[in-house]
Structure 1
């Protein structure tokens, strides 16, 4: 096994710290500026997810505390919606967690509120190693030249399919297939397999972003929306036609079975989502599932990019060095990689990626899919979302769902979305 460059760097810093301590100084990586008096420092770490993720993360925290006995970690986790409600209350009160799970849709929002710690300073001090990341992921959390988050994993949009349904319909998706090919597949699945071809993709912001990117636009610019009502209305009009004709799943049934997915429930043959969600369908459903490529407008440009969950620090933390040390450990330590696997996406650093050898079929499929899209050389850079993007995404999903249930016509729904989006974005 090769010796990690990261471990070598840590060994050097530890030795340097010992020398400094002998001279009456404190090494930056051992709590400089933390306000500690030599005793244990406690930092708070919060994230969202299910119980299985919590169990894995608690194991990694225990490992961290064993290797860093002077840093104690108090943990807290919630479901996604509850997490942000609690976080918003804490941030408004000036007491957010020292380190927390984050996503790109929240970077500008909380940066504008001065909640996020610029981790670049800690990287320069040697407390955070930004080397050895896969596919340039170390830049994913950079906004306006400041490092506001460090990726723990990567994922990309894909079309998760029920392999038995697609086989029965005689449909074999391949890289470079077009939206016309996908349209034909919807009909074949409906006619030959007897189910809807898709669960209904019209409320998925990230998919619509890819469609826009394939046509020279994007869902967001750095300051606001990158498309107009004249773009959205035809897209939603065609979507509602497909709901009525059964090419998309019956939306009343989709609502009834939530939180179970329409794909796992057998209501549809496919569903667009993040590739690492494939594990969800395998756990919920009774069929076998695979990740198909994103259809294209021209057979080449998918508009795809790597997304990621990340770890961010609080600008109000009294322990920035310890926060950086914690984040560094969580993205580089090989054992952490083996514990977490692909729970939050394909591991972001080569050290962890190489340490985790997926043995289950689902993880192998996810890894193979990301290798495939990376090898194609078409991955793009995601535009950092403007402040308020999280509210816009929620509005897009909610309004599209109401529209599909017949609560409002397409034109009215599009107007409502743009009204709410402009308010959320302050434009």
Structure 2
């Protein structure tokens, strides 16, 4: 299941995404084609996702396992980068021809449920075709909307703070569980003063982080039907962030733009960045320093506002093969061999069978697994904030307008008004 300077949305996948044709995939798992049933009773379903080449290679390995176990079900695949995926999906959904099963995220559940695109999987669960047993605590709730099961998680993650360990050590700053926002901002200044490296790459335009901050203060980014905060709340948040950019302790947004598709953290132009915990592998691949996970700052030293988000598999309400789709989803979320192949590509594995089957051997993935285990053990995880229809548009607006503010293209008051105006329009669309 996102994104924040949502690396999945804006950077990793957009930069590394490719079409299935570019991989030269076999015809049995090629793009396009309609779902259907052949003369011998073989059923074909279409499966689409967003991701980079490496994800596609892994998923196609898992499909071979599935087709071996279910020889009467064939799977045609299609994948793009994040932006292209949703552009294509929207066109397919509007035309009444979405894929039978597809990768999904909480941001889109209400949007496409409202348009009657998503299949309620509860009948297949009740029939025993699809199981919601043996999942890590709380994960399956992410796919529930108004009593319907619209998605089943394949992996979970939570927001974290990724740090450049060498820069933090050089500055003599050591993040600790329970540190406050005041502690964090003091740390950013210390880092900048002692190393001349900005302490953070731009926290204040990350929607999911602001959601945590609001949750720490008894609010949330969303209610069921709208925004869960007012203009005064956002003005304070954005004015505070803008002031820190001007003070030099936040990376200059022009530098952030120049560094793309790399992160300014891995480019050495920032010492920390808020993102999803399983994205830590990205910084290790891009950068030359040593990166690790640090706790989310708090208001009271305890409540972080964190929750488990997830990537999930959803199905089309128009599929002609609900049973076969349910069998496919069930296999993909429970089969241990699938877990071994996928690893933490889509987050920490959601089902206990797959979680137990995959044993990370590299330091980065071990740290990711330990971070989630420690966070769960701390008892701070809550229920994910509901995302109303239009949340995808609102997330993009938050990132874009926050970036304009950081660059001085607009003032905090004007930025806040623009965001609320665009949000209202998104809710009504």
Normalised to the residue count of structure 1, the TM-score between the two structures is 0.91
Asked whether the 8 Å contact 2:168–2:271 carries over to 1, the reply is yes
Asked whether the 8 Å contact 2:221–2:385 carries over to 1, the reply is no
Asked whether the 8 Å contact 1:35–1:318 carries over to 2, the reply is no
Q: Distance in 2 between matches of 1:194 and 1:65?
A: 55
Question: CA offsets per residue over residues 32-84 of structure 1, 9 Å max, x none?
Answer: xx977652100000000111111111111111111111000000000000000
Q: Which has the larger radius of gyration?
A: 1
Map 1:323-362 → 2, pairs under 5 A: 323-362=325-364
Q: Distance in 2 between matches of 1:381 and 1:65?
A: 36
Q: Distance in 2 between matches of 1:352 and 1:290?
A: 24
Map 1:140-155 → 2, pairs under 5 A: 140-155=142-157
Asked whether the 8 Å contact 2:135–2:350 carries over to 1, the reply is yes
- Identify the residue that residue 33 of structure 2 maps to in structure 1: none
What is the SS of the residue equivalent to 1:372?
helix
Map 1:179-328 → 2, pairs under 5 A: 179-328=181-330
Map 1:54-203 → 2, pairs under 5 A: 54-203=56-205
Question: CA offsets per residue over residues 293-320 of structure 1, 9 Å max, x none?
Answer: 0000000110000000000000000000
- Identify the residue that residue 21 of structure 1 maps to in structure 2: none
Q: Out of 369, 386, 392, which is 1:367 matched to? A: 369
Asked whether the 8 Å contact 2:37–2:44 carries over to 1, the reply is no
Asked whether the 8 Å contact 1:282–1:289 carries over to 2, the reply is yes
Question: CA offsets per residue over residues 251-299 of structure 1, 9 Å max, x none?
Answer: 1010111111010000100000000110100100101100100000000
Q: Distance in 1 between matches of 2:333 and 2:151?
A: 11
Q: Per-residue deviation at 1:384?
A: 2.1
Structure 2, unmatched stretches of 5+, are: 1-35
Q: Distance in 1 between matches of 2:183 and 2:57?
A: 42
Question: CA offsets per residue over residues 106-125 of structure 1, 9 Å max, x none?
Answer: 00000000000000100111
What is the SS of the residue equivalent to 1:75?
strand
Asked whether the 8 Å contact 1:264–1:281 carries over to 2, the reply is yes
Normalised to the residue count of structure 2, the TM-score between the two structures is 0.91
Question: CA offsets per residue over residues 193-247 of structure 1, 9 Å max, x none?
Answer: 2200000111100000000000000000010000011000111111111111111
Instruction: Say if 2:396 is the partner of 1:394.
Output: yes
Q: Distance in 2 between matches of 1:113 and 1:65?
A: 31
What is the SS of the residue equivalent to 2:137?
helix
